[in-house]
Amino acid sequence: MKSQYEAVLKDKLDADSFAKLAALNNDKLHAFVASAIELCEPESVKVCDDSDADRDDIRRRSVELGEETSLAAEGHTIHFDGYNDQARDKAATKYLVPAEMDLDKKLNQVARDDGLAEVRSFLGGAMAGRQMLVRFYCLGPTDSAFSISCVQITDSAYVAHSEDMLYRSGYEQFKTLGDSGEFFRFLHSAGRLADNNTSADVDKRRIYIDIAEDMVYSVNTQYAGNTVGLKKLSLRLAIRKADREGWLAEHMFVLGVHGPADRVTYFAGAFPSACGKTSTAMVPGETIVGDDLAYLRAVDGRVAAVNVESGIFGIIRDVNAKDDPVIFDVLNSPGEVIFSNVLVTGGVPHWLGMGEDIPDAGLNHSGDWTAGKTDAKGAEITPSHKNARYTIRISALANRDERADDPTGVSLGGLIYGGRDSDTCVPIQQSFDWAHGMITMGASLESETTAATLGAEGVRTFNLMSNLDFLAIPLSRYIQNNLNFADGLKAAPLVFGTNYFLKDAAGQFLNGKLDKSIWLKWMELRVHGEVEAIETPTGSIPTFDDLHRLFAAHLKTDYSQDAYIQQFTTRIPENLAKLDRIEAVYRDVADTPAVVLDTLAAQRDRLKSLQQAKGDYVSPLAL
Query: Which residues are catalytically annotated?
Result: 275
At residue 489's C-alpha, the angle toward residues 485 and 491, to 5°, is: 120
CA 325, 329, 334 angle in degrees (round to 5)?
Answer: 175
Q: Which helix (H) or strand (E) holds 596?
A: helix 594-614
**Residue 324: what residue type?**
D
What is the phi/psi pair of residue 44, to 5°?
-150, 170
- Rounded to an integer, what distance in angstroms lies between the CA atom of residue 285 and that of residue 296? 25
**Other beta carbons less than 10 A from residue 615's beta carbon:** 12
CB atoms within 10 A of CB 238: 25
Range list of H helices, 282-336: 325-331
594-614 helix and 572-587 helix, angle to the nearest 10 degrees: 160
Give the separation between CA 292 and CA 279, rounded to whole angstroms.
Answer: 11
Going by DSSP bridges, is the β-strand pair 410-418/264-270 parallel, antiparallel, or unpaired? parallel
Q: How many residues does the chain have?
A: 623
Sheet holding 389-393, edge to edge: 69-70, 76-79, 337-340, 389-393, 311-315
Asked if 417 and 445 count as a contact pair (C-beta separation under 8 A), the reply is yes
Could you tell me how many helices (H) and strands (E) the chain has, helices first? Answer: 18, 33
Q: Among residues 378, 349, 375, which one has the least CA distance to residue 363?
A: 349
3-state secondary structure of 119: helix
